[in-house]
Amino acid sequence: MLAQGILGHADTQQRFSDLYRQKKLPHAWMIYGMQGMGKAMLAHTMAQIYVCESLRPDGQACGQCHACEMVLGGSHPDLAQVGLDWDEKKKRFRRDIRVEQIRHALDFLTLTGMRSERRVMIIDDANRMNLAAANALLKGLEEPAEGALLLMVCHDLSALPETIRSRCMLEHCSPLALHDVRTVLKKMALPQTSLLLAENLAKGCPGRVQALNDETIASACLQWQTLTQSIQYADLGEIEAWLQKYVQKVPNELIVSILVEPLQHTIQEWMGDYELSEKIYIAVQGVLTWEHDVRAHALRPVPSLLARILQVRKVWKQAA
């Protein structure tokens, strides 16, 4: 059952449910925080509470009524979702949420509910709305329709205009505790060999390491970890060969996390030396912004990452 299956965000669920039952529910919620800790699942759980026809005494969705069944089956007529669309031509997700999608979402919310007076729209990746989309949404936020509930999921609050933020109930989500991360990873049934790696990389956000479910990716990541764990001794030829083979297959976020993970441990030891700290900061920042720079400036991924690794390696050699 979804309502009971979600971990780590019980406070938010409770707050939502309490406000709903007190008939004080704000019509727009912005659920924000780091990627991969179940914010979209939380939004669905809230939507389920909103449309459930027989709430439990504790205010959670019953999980058994027809409305709950339809939410869980993805077929509730009064619940809809928009997010980043799949671009069939380019074989990847689009980079932003467009104005047509937001207009569609707002139109949906103005209709009368089919099963009740209530309608819910979830906007996933709300931080990826382009300017026109955000402007269209703003109008909808100013004139909410009766019974309409808008739940937005956002990984980067600063990417949204203040005018939107100020019209929403802002709900911050924190990363999951380690025992919850372990429970989620257990359910994901990761290959045993990559479990420890997944736990270290998740940092409270198990959704980030979902790709490790795939054994090819898991074993490539372990190999990458071995290659890069002592960066000052790393064999650049092997690193380049690995990147050529896997840069398109392994999520780039994982490539960066694995690379940066051991660096973080050494950084702390060198923090006393100001000049060195600054060099370290710049070098590591280069790695951290690589993925973004590749997208934003159409860089060639392998040479641009190699150059940044080289920079880190140079600083680490100096520091050692």
By CB under 5 A, which span of 15-23, 58-66, 156-164, 288-296 interacts with Zn ion? 58-66
Token readout for 4 is: 């009971």
65 binds Zn ion (CB under 5 A): yes
The distance of closest approach from Cβ of residue 60 to Zn ion in the complex, given in angstroms and rounded to an integer, is 9
176 binds Zn ion (CB under 5 A): no
Token readout for 207 is: 């959704």
Instruction: Closer to Zn ion by CB, 40 or 61: give it.
Output: 61
Number of residues counted as binding Zn ion (CB under 5 A): 5
The distance of closest approach from Cβ of residue 67 to Zn ion in the complex, given in angstroms and rounded to an integer, is 5
Instruction: Closer to Zn ion by CB, 44 or 203: give it.
Output: 44
Instruction: Closer to Zn ion by CB, 13 or 127: give it.
Output: 13
- Containing 15, the helix (H) or strand (E) segment is helix 10-21
Segment 16 to 55, residues that bind Zn ion, using CB under 5 A: 52
97 binds Zn ion (CB under 5 A): no
- Choose which of 1, 2, 34, 62 interacts with Zn ion (CB under 5 A): 62
- Containing 298, the helix (H) or strand (E) segment is none
Local structure of 40: helix, strand or coil: helix
- Choose which of 68, 168, 212, 258 interacts with Zn ion (CB under 5 A): 68
Using alpha carbons, list the distances in angstroms from residue 290 to 145, 228, 295, 303: 43, 16, 9, 11
Segment 269 to 298, residues that bind Zn ion, using CB under 5 A: none
Cβ density class 1-10: b for 16+ within 10 Å, e for less: ebbeebbbbe
The distance of closest approach from Cβ of residue 116 to Zn ion in the complex, given in angstroms and rounded to an integer, is 12
The binding site for Zn ion (CB under 5 A) comprises: 52, 61-62, 65, 68
